Structures are given as structure tokens and as C-alpha cells.
Amino acid sequence: MLVLEFKVKGKVQQYSAIDDAIRTFQFVRNKALRFWMDNEKVNGFDLNKYCAVLAKEFDFAKELNSQARQAAAERAWFAISRFFDNCKSGTPGKKGYPQFQKDNRSVEYKTTGWLLSEDCRHITFSDKKCIGRLKMLGTRDLSFYSADQIKRVRLVKRADGFFVQFSVKVDRTEALEPTGSVVGLDVGLESFYTDSNGEKVPNPRFYRKGQQAMRQRQRRVSRKVKGSKNRAKARIRLAHKHLSISRQRQDHAIKLARCVISSNDVVVYENLKVRNMVKHHCLAKSINDAGWYQFRTWLEYFGKVFGRITLAVEPAYTSQECSNCGVIVKKSLSTRTHVCQCGCRLDRDENAALNILAKGIGMKGHFKTVALDARNASGEMTTTLTGVILSQQVAS
């Protein structure tokens, strides 16, 4: 599934209509969740049927497209099924009991209720919310895809305006020449990651750099009277800054992940539990600012697109174990150089990246010989090694 996003332009009345549609979508979702709470043995089909009951009972709910109401019920059922799955799998901690929404910012249509213009530069919403015809701003060409391939259309409200997203059912694949190289990545806070070749990528620290500006805007929000227009304007300025930092972090992750995938045939990284790591109150802000999980997500995505192999290995003892002899050398976080009795002296993160790569290719000893063979191997030999890895590791 490919998601294409465009910014939409319209009149003030149309923006108000979109806000009304979003509120109605949230109302249907919350009512469906309440229906599940109050009744036993309710499934997703029952929630879809309940949408028709809501349309008869509330006129403003009837104004929303029928399939959009069903999409709202599907969101409620998604939260319910996720809660059940967490309970069955024994997920530690809270299981994520479904909660009522109060800040929904999107409304989703399926295959009806909208129509694209012939040039694919305008979209018209035909339900009784009176959204009407909106102009789309963007560089992507929707005419390349047929109308049958567009499965969902979503209107999203953000701090800097309204956007429309198209979920297109298409398999994106691109062919790249094999590079014959493998790499292990060790993410960190001092540098964003260090690979097994000793290369370091600096940590951009977008949140830290914009923290002072956010503090100033937050103080301006606090000084304004609650409910006033000036407070609403100050909140929008603060939201713009948060959105800008979020987009910077995402752009950095996308470009870096694409570069790593296109330069290597096999990429091995740590299977980090970021949710558990942020419980460390001294490092939580820096870990969230780095965006390791987002980087991993895009690594796996581009791995599928370009036909590369991405492997996640357990991070246990990768920083303590010597990549040359395998002896455990204990060191604190402040110790940045790995020094072993065998004579191996490496940067701490580079040593960890070598151990990560060694775990990924399934051979912890004699790493230098294995890495050299992997770099010089043909595509057929790489496939053979991959078959061994996939039976033991997590691959994209």
C-alpha cells in the first residue's frame, strides 16, 4: 500500500465543513466503542450495523458518508482487537484498553463519497457535509493509478492546514545493482549510528536545537487568557514548531535509511525496545529525539522496495563483547573506547557494530574473514547465506 499526500486549498466554509466531518467521525467511533462496552459478544460486523442505527438517530451523523461511518467503526474495532491481541499474547505492562477519543484530526472515506477531477488536481466530496471541491497542491501524479487502486481517502488536519491522503494498492519495487557489501549498525546518542566500517553519522538533535524556541512559544501560550483568540494564535505557533521538528526528524530518517539500503546488500541492526529504554528518566528526551524506531521502520520499508536484506538481532552484550576474541569487557556508558587484553583497541560503537554484524551473518568468530568473503561473494552465494539467516533471525 502506497500513501500519497497532497495539501488542499479551499474556502473558510469548506474548512469548517471538514472540521464538522472530523467531529462526526470521532462521534461515531466513540459511540461504536460505547456500544461494545455495553453489550457482550459484539464483533466488527455488529459495529458496522450499528452505524446505520446512529444515522437514523442523529441527523448530523446521517450527513456523513455511510462508508465513512463504517471506517470510524473499523477504527474502534481496531483498538478493541489490538487490546485482545495484547491480552492473548501476554504483553507485559498495560494492554491498551480502548479509550474514547477527544482530539481526532482526520476523517476517512472508502470508495464512495469522493470524486477526482480528470486532471487529478481537484477532489470533490459529495456527502451532505458540504465540503465540496478542493484544490490539491503537490508534485505526485495520481493519473498514473486507476480509480480502482485507490482504496481509502483521508482528510487530515494539521497545524499548517488540511491535507488529503490517498491509500493506493500497489506493490512498489525498484531494482538496484548488488553492491556485494554488508554492514552492521549501532545506534547511539553521541552519534546517530556507527557502522561496522567505522563510519559515523552525527546525531542531528532536532528537538534539542529547537527547544529554546518552543519554550518561548509555550510561555506565550501560558500568558494568554484561556479561551481568547490570542491564546488560540499562540497555540498554533507552538504547534507549527512541533510539526516542523517532527518533519525534520522524519526527513532525516527517510534520506539516511534510503542511503544505507542502496549502499549495502545486507543491513544488520539492533532489535531495540525503545519503549523500555525511555523509562530511563535521564536519557528519555535524548532517545526520543534521536528517532531510532522511525529510522528502523524506514530501513525495513526500503529493504522491501529495493530487495535488500534487513536483519534485527538481539542487542545483548554487543557493547561489552570483544569483536576480535569474544571476551566480555565490562565498561560504563562513559567509557567510549573498547580495550581488550587480546590487543584489540576500537571505538566502543564500532566494536558494537562489528558484533551486531557478526550476529547477523550467524558467525561470531573470525569476523574479518567472513566479512571479506561476504563483500566478495556473488549474488548466488549471498542468497545461500540469506537462507541460513532467515531461519534464525527477524527479516523484513
- Output the pLDDT for position 347: 87
Q: What is the pLDDT of residues 18-76, one digit of tens each?
A: 999 999 999 999 999 999 999 999 999 999 999 999 999 999 999 999 999 999 999 99
Mean pLDDT of the chain: 87
Give the CA-trace dihedral at 331, 336, 339, 345, to 10 degrees: 160
CB contact burial 147-175 (16+ within 10 A = b; e otherwise): eeebebbbbbbeeeebbbbbbbeeeeeee
Other beta carbons within 10 angstroms of residue 8's beta carbon come to: 21
For 378, other C-beta atoms within 10 Å of its C-beta total 10
What confidence score (pLDDT) does residue 337 get?
87
* Residue of 40, 39, 111, 44 whose CA lies nearest to 73: 44
CA angle, 369 then 370 then 374, to 5°: 120
Which range is least confidently modeled, 25-29, 229-233, 319-323?
319-323
Q: Where are the domains of the chain?
A: 2-168, 182-201+250-395
CB-side neighbour CA atoms (13 Å) of 253: 22
Residue 72 Cα distances to 37, 166, 364, angstroms: 16, 17, 50
Residues 150 and 140: beta-carbon distance below 8 Å:
no
Are 331 and 286 in contact, with CB atoms under 8 Å apart? no
C-alpha to C-alpha distances, 343 to 80, 321, 328, nearest whole angstrom: 56, 14, 14
Cα distance between the two ends of the chain: 16
- Structure confidence at residue 254 (pLDDT): 95
CB 388 within 8 A of CB 311: no
| Helix, strand, coil share (%) of the chain residues, nearest 5 | 50, 20, 35
| Grid cell at residue 78 | 481496531
Give the C-alpha separation, 122 to 14, whole Å.
Answer: 14
Give the pLDDT of residue 370. Answer: 41
Q: Tell me which of 336 and 294 has the higher pLDDT.
A: 294
The DSSP call for residue 190 is S
Please give the residue that has the higher pLDDT: either 339 or 76. 76
Rounded Cα distance, 80 and 44, in Å: 9
**Tell me: the pLDDT tens digits for 351-392?**
889 989 988 887 433 334 444 444 444 333 333 233 333 333
Task: Give the pLDDT confidence of 113-154 residue by residue, as tens digits.
Answer: 999 999 899 999 999 999 999 999 988 888 888 888 999 999
Q: Please give the pLDDT value at position 319.
A: 86
Average pLDDT over residues 297-312: 92
HEC string of 292-305 equals HHHHHHHHHHHHHH
Instruction: Look at residues 108, 19, 122 and name the one whose alpha carbon lies nearest to residue 66.
Output: 108
- 379/389 Cα distance (integer angstroms): 15
Gap between the Cα atoms of 241 and 247, Å rounded: 10
Three-class DSSP category at 157: strand
pLDDT in tens, 246-267: 999 999 999 999 999 999 999 9
Answer whether 362's CB lies under 8 Å from 371's CB.
Answer: no
Q: How far apart are CA 233 and CA 212, in angstroms?
A: 19
Cα 44–chain centre separation: 26
Pick from 374, 375, 392, 396: nearest CA to 306: 396
d(CA 394, CA 314): 10
Write the Ramachandran bin of 42: left for phi over 0, alpha for psi from -120 to 50, otherwise beta. Answer: beta
Closest CA to 362 of 284, 266, 275: 266
